[in-house]
Amino acid sequence: MKSVLFVLRDVNLGLPALLGEVYAQLVAYVLAGATQMINEQLEAHVNAWLGRADYVRRKRVSGSGLLRCRKCGSRWRAQFSRNGYRERGLDLVIGRLRIALPRVRCVCGGSVDLNLPDLRPRQRLGGDWAALIEHWSSLGYSLRQIKAELDNGLQSSLGLRSISERLHALARRLPQWRIATVPPVVMVDAIWVRLMQPSDERRSDRQGRRRVVKRRVKVPVLVALGVWPEQGRSQVLDWEVGTEQGEDRASWLRLLNRLEERGLRPENGLKLWVHDGGAGLIAALNELFPDVPHQRCVFHKLRNLLRAIVPPEELPKEARRNYCRRLIRQAAQIWQAPTREEALRRYARFRRRWQDEQPEVIATLDRDFEATLTFYQVWNQNRLWPMHYLRSISHLERLNRRVRFRTHKAGVYHSLTGLQAMLVQVFASL
């Protein structure tokens, strides 16, 4: 590598300029090869559909095929003949393909539809540009920002309607399937994101048009994750974008009703709900699934205990950190007990040890403590299931981190459609 750089220096060639030239040659080679391959495949398809090669008389073929005349509706191949080519442009990120699209006509004078599945009528952009549109949307770009990026790359103009249709098509890919195998454990939680929503206020833009003023709000994304503990796998079942009111009962009911309609019921195998203890969620679960046990997430309980610790002020910083760590480790041993009875004994010992020194911690621990031991009831009936699938929503929290990573990079989403498009990308990648 050093010798190559010295040669470049001696011949007075700048490395960036040379790389640019090599890149341009490589792009030209790729585009030429792709164009030739596509044209050859189009010719092969037309030959197969017509049932004959070039310069073969129509009288030697019979029967009907996939081609159809747009004018008379005929499918008889003996009535079709080639009619030259029409140039078709397809924009890719690296450049434009110039495709020679074969033309076929009928004896009635009508044009024959080729029904090309990978090249839709009036399609301008390739799949790589479509992927970039989805990526920009997941980063929270507005329609006008995406249009500016596309216009700069294409050196032409693309309408906002075309971009919007692409995003709406992506957002419509919501999970509307019927649950084939009901998961025995379902974890539910919410992720808060920032979203721009229209308000009642209007103002005039530079052209004098009256525009709706948008305001930034925080809304929860309610997620349901199905878990099969014996198989060690999980799947996002559905989600719901809530309102500014928070994780209210109505939003949870919309999500849970859809799951129930798709077959998520106790008689089909549902055995346990795992959640963080939100009031709206508990009310919705008690209304729709009164016979399914609830497990209060142990991870959230430990996090609340950590926030309630008041370490001695005379301790130095590192000693205070060790003090909190030691207390939380002792608390975590309660839910690591092999049986519910042993967990209750550890709970009693922990209370006696810290009652006088950390009363706020004990008060936090006592709150809904029985709900954190529900997993023993389910585990006693299914001893092959690992306990960590039953006592916390840690697996759902890992998924939430991926969503938070996207939302932090985006900052704020300019539309509900853009937010849903991002969620489809994240959940479909699992």
The angle formed by the CA atoms of residues 179, 248 and 427, to the nearest 5 degrees, is: 40
Place of tokens 């142990």: 298
Q: Are 102 and 85 in contact (CB under 8 A)?
A: yes
Contacts of 241 (CB under 8 A, 6+ apart): 195, 219, 220, 221, 222, 416, 419, 420
pTM above 0.85, yes or no: no
Quick one: which of 162, 169, 38 has its CA closest to 102? 38
How would you label 81-117 residue by residue, b for 16+ Cβ within 10 Å and e otherwise? ebeeeeebebbbeeebbebbebebbbeeebebebebe
Q: What is the mean pLDDT of each run of 10 residues along the chain (430 residues)?
A: 38 51 74 81 80 72 72 82 80 74 86 72 65 63 68 63 64 55 93 86 82 86 93 89 83 91 90 92 92 94 94 90 94 94 96 93 94 94 92 90 85 81 76
Q: Are 330 and 353 in contact (CB under 8 A)?
A: yes
Chain mean position to CA 77: 45
Q: How far is CA 280 from CA 199, 252, 319, 372, 408, in A?
A: 26, 7, 39, 18, 26
Residue 207, burial from CB neighbour count under 10 angstroms (0-12, 13-18, 19+): exposed
Q: What share of the chain is helix, strand, coil (3-state, %, to 5)?
A: 50, 20, 30
Please report how many Cα atoms fall inside a 13 Å half-sphere around the Cα of residue 57, on the Cβ side.
2
CA distance 303 to 315: 22
**What SS3 class is residue 38?**
helix
Question: What's the confidence (pLDDT) of residue 402?
Answer: 87
Torsions phi, psi for 249 (to 5 deg): -60, -40
Domain ranges, ordered by start, for the chain:
2-113, 127-171, 185-428
Quick one: which of 98, 110, 39, 29 has its CA closest to 69? 110
